[in-house]
């Protein structure tokens, strides 16, 4: 029996759920606590209503824009995803190629399966690199020096993870939980996804934290990955560390995880070139506001002194449009690219990105704008 063809992010999510082991699917999908913020991130974009306009010449629509000083085909970047390379064989490499084909930025996570060197060998243009502040500052220096030498000129520093949030799905699935029972639980889940086993861990070897591989002891399975990640986040990080990083990094610095106007002001004062309005996809503190509701305040505070990006719950081109109308310069998508890659491979991600651009173009046509820079508050229905 033939299945329907995937058309939306939700379609790809359902495919990914059938193909990934349960613990890995839940690792990507889950949020903190009762996952209220996770749900609000997506739902609150729906409250942003667009202003439909008619009888405007929209034959020539241009979705091109500039992000972090580079020209791209649309105002969207692929967000960093920890362990993203486990969604498909050498997943970050495939995502990089798809991003390049779509002419949008790809951001490699500090804890990606593919490392800086592997992506550099396969890249046709510089990618962005995301950094956590590891406890050992010598490791931080070594990694950002490696990123710079590889041609990365945009560093995305995640500021909202002094310690990992309570992710109940991971505990239920035995992720990073010691003992025989959790181990058997994960083995059982893996045995139900033998196609994934053959394609990803077997044909996609080596399974290690690429950029961190020289610094990680015995990282040979998801449990050890997760344990290392959780123990390396530094709860002592302050704005002084960001000042140190700003002095160290010669390129563009984007701070990811800003959700408060006062923090946005401080980020600009320190010299950040951009910020990402983010609550870590609802994976950290359940109960904080959605990014859609916080975006207007932060746009006002920043007042064009830095680029403002936003992530969290973006499900298509209309949500991209909504974010731009609220003042963002662009958006990041995380789970969306993982679902497309896991559910449909490189072809699936290519189609998803093309679909987002087509939907953005249609939203522009039906609201009477032809250029990205023309999307603003006047494009919203305030009634």
Q: Which residues does the annotation mark as catalytic?
A: 280
- Determine the Cα–Cα distance for residues 113 and 124; give it in Å rounded to an integer: 20
Which residues face 252 on adjacent strands? 154
Q: Which residues, 6+ apart, have CB-to-CB distance to 374 below 8 Å?
A: none
Place of tokens 């990914």: 16
- Give CA torsion, residues 105, 111, 115, 116, to 10 deg: 50
Secondary structure E strands in the chain: 65-67, 70-72, 76-78, 107-108, 128-131, 154-158, 252-258, 274-277, 307-310, 330-333
Which residues face 310 on adjacent strands? 277, 331
- Determine the Cα–Cα distance for residues 269 and 296; give it in Å rounded to an integer: 19
Distance of CA 60 to the CA centre of its chain: 30
Distance of CA 143 to the CA centre of its chain: 20
Place of tokens 């029972």: 181
Counts of helices then strands in the chain (DSSP H, E): 15, 10
- Determine the Cα–Cα distance for residues 25 and 185; give it in Å rounded to an integer: 14
């Amino acid at each position: 029996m033939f299945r329907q063809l995937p058309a939306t992010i939700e379609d790809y999510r359902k495919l990914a759920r059938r193909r990934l082991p349960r613990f890995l699917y839940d690792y990507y999908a889950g949020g903190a606590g009762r996952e209220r913020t996770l749900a609000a991130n997506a739902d609150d974009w729906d409250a942003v209503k667009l202003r439909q306009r008619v009888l405007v010449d929209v034959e020539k629509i241009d979705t091109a824009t500039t992000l972090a000083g580079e020209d791209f085909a649309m105002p969207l970047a692929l967000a960093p995803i920890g362990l993203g390379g486990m969604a498909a064989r050498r997943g970050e490499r495939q995502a990089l190629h798809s991003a390049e084909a779509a002419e949008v930025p790809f951001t490699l996570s500090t804890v990606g399966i593919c490392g800086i060197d592997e992506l550099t060998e396969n890249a046709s243009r510089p990618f962005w690199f995301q950094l956590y502040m590891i406890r050992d500052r010598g490791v931080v220096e070594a990694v950002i020096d490696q990123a710079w030498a590889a041609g990365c000129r945009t560093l995305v520093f995640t500021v909202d993870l002094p310690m990992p949030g309570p992710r109940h799905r991971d505990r239920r699935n035995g992720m990073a939980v010691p003992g025989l029972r959790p181990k058997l639980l994960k083995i059982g889940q893996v045995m139900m996804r033998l196609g994934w086993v053959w394609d990803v861990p077997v044909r996609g070897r080596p399974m290690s934290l690429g950029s961190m591989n020289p610094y990680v002891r015995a990282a040979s399975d998801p449990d050890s990955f997760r344990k290392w990640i959780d123990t390396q986040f530094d709860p002592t990080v302050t704005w002084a560390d960001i000042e140190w990083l700003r002095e160290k990094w010669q390129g563009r610095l984007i701070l990811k995880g800003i959700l408060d106007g006062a923090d946005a002001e401080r980020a600009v004062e320190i010299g950040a070139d951009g910020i990402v309005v983010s609550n870590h996809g609802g994976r950290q503190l359940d109960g904080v506001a959605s990014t859609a509701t916080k975006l207007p305040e932060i746009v006002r505070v920043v007042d064009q002194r830095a680029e403002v990006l936003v992530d969290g719950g973006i499900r298509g081109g209309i949500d991209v449009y909504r974010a731009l109308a609220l003042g963002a310069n662009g958006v990041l998508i995380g789970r969306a690219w993982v679902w497309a890659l896991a559910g449909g491979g490189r072809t699936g991600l290519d189609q998803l990105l093309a679909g987002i651009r087509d939907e953005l173009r249609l939203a522009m046509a039906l609201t009477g704008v032809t250029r990205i820079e023309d999307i603003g508050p006047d494009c919203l229905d305030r009634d």
